[in-house]
Amino acid sequence: MTAERTGARDVETMIDLLWRTRPPGSRGPRGALSLDRIVETAMEIADADGVGGVSMRKIAERLDVTTMSLYRYIPRKEDLLDLMFDAAMGKPDTGAWPEDWRGRLTCYALDARAAMLARPWLCDIPLSGPPLGPNNLSWLEAALASLDGTGLSDADMVGLIMILTNYVLSDVRQVVSINRAVPRTGFTYEEWGEIYGRTLATRIDPARFPHVVRVATSGVFGPEVASGDEDFMYGVDFLLDGVEALVRRRDATG
């Protein structure tokens, strides 16, 4: 079935928008607008009010144009969100990345996380599919290039990058969610660790949850609890240890 018959999005249109190869419609004023200007304005609104505050009406008011004129450039709100996500991520700066694959993938994870934390509203944009825009494909290219020469198959590399990227996305969403909840809970990410451990150790029935209580009383959630950055790096190292083991196994089997 075609996209029109199913109501699905047209992938070709998405790519044309992301790569700026789709000419605007023939109606409306020319020269007053551009796709980049619309996306930049949308991101400015998101920076101030979050994704929920972004609407075609608000963008039109900021640009002093009619709402309908925006649709000559961007057919749907979903298309705008894809454009915002790709633009906000930017391209990775790999110039300072080390030469070894592990160091490069560590930088990939840290830099992608930093880019998303810089604009927390990125967490509110649902992923519509694999990377298609020039910026997000630049991140994929950098990660693939980092694994080149390891002896891993193309399928291995794509799978590992998906796992690492999903870990980054999950961590960012957790950090952003906890930060947003601070006005309601009064506790930061680091403060939650000690409070959580103390609560489990004193209020949970050890007969029912013996392993939970054992861990809680072991000091894992003590006052020296790791920061969010340290927790993130623990996960990155854990994942890359697995990649290293896979590289050795692939090398041993030829």
The pLDDT score that the predictor gives to residue 78 is 93
3-88 has CATH 1.10.10.60 classification: yes
On whether the pTM is more than 0.85, the answer is: yes
Neighbours of 52 (CB within 10 A): 9
| Measured distance CA(42)–CA(54) in Å, rounded | 6
The domain locations on the chain are 3-88, 90-186+224-252
- The answer to whether 115 touches 89, Cβ cutoff 8 Å, is yes
Taking the CA atoms of 180, 113, 134 and 161 in sequence, report the sign of the dihedral they define: negative
pLDDT digits (tens, 9 = 90+) for 25-42: 555 555 569 999 999 999
Tokens of residue 233, six digits:
């790096």
* CATH architecture label of 90-186+224-252: Orthogonal Bundle (1.10)
Distances (CA, A) of 59 to 30, 37, 50, 66, 83: 17, 10, 13, 9, 14
Amino acid 40 reads: E
Q: Looking at residue 2, what is its pLDDT?
A: 44
pLDDT on residue 28: 52
> What pLDDT score does 3 carry?
47
Low-confidence ranges of the chain (pLDDT < 50): 1-5
Which residue, among 57, 131, 56, 134, has the nearest Cα to 91 in the 3D structure?
134
Provide CB contacts within 8 A for 193, sequence distance 6+: 221, 222, 225, 226
Query: Same topology for domains 3-88 and 90-186+224-252, yes or no?
Result: no
